[in-house]
Amino acid sequence: MSSDTIPSANGVTLTAAAAAEVRNMQSNKPEDAGKPLRVFVEKGGCSGMQYSMVFDERRDGDLVSELDGVQVVVDAFSLDFLQGAVVDHSDDLTGGGFKISNPNAAHTCGCGRSFESQE
């Protein structure tokens, strides 16, 4: 996990590498340009809860942060599970992609996309 992080007001932090990749993705898909990145959790996955990210519109009740040119939105439900989480990105051939380091996860499955909450 990169130590080069940008502070967040909504509980979720992006590393500079993650922010750069999000900006790259937005520039490659005009329909996503200008849309905030929604980081959220939902029930599912092999450990009970799973992470998701999507370019989406801002909704009532969202907590919003601007991180290195990327607008990030988190809904109130997800914030309970994502407070203090860091989103990173790696271009590694093996195991590359987005990774979420979550201090609220009691257990994370091998795929890294789902977790068991400490609650």
The gap from C-alpha 98 to its chain's centroid, in whole angstroms, comes to 8
Number of domains in the chain: 1
Q: At 41, which CATH number?
A: 2.60.300.12
Residue 113 pLDDT level (bands cut at 50, 70, 90): low
Residue 3 pLDDT level (bands cut at 50, 70, 90): very low
Domain of residue 101, residue span: 5-117
The gap from C-alpha 93 to its chain's centroid, in whole angstroms, comes to 21
Read off the pLDDT of residues 60-81 as tens digits, 9 standing for 90 and up.
Answer: 999 999 888 899 999 988 988 8
- pLDDT value, residue 2: 40
The model's pTM is: 0.80
- Burial of 28-61, coded b for 16+ CB within 10 Å and e otherwise, reads eeeebeebbbbbbbeeebebebbbebebeeeeee
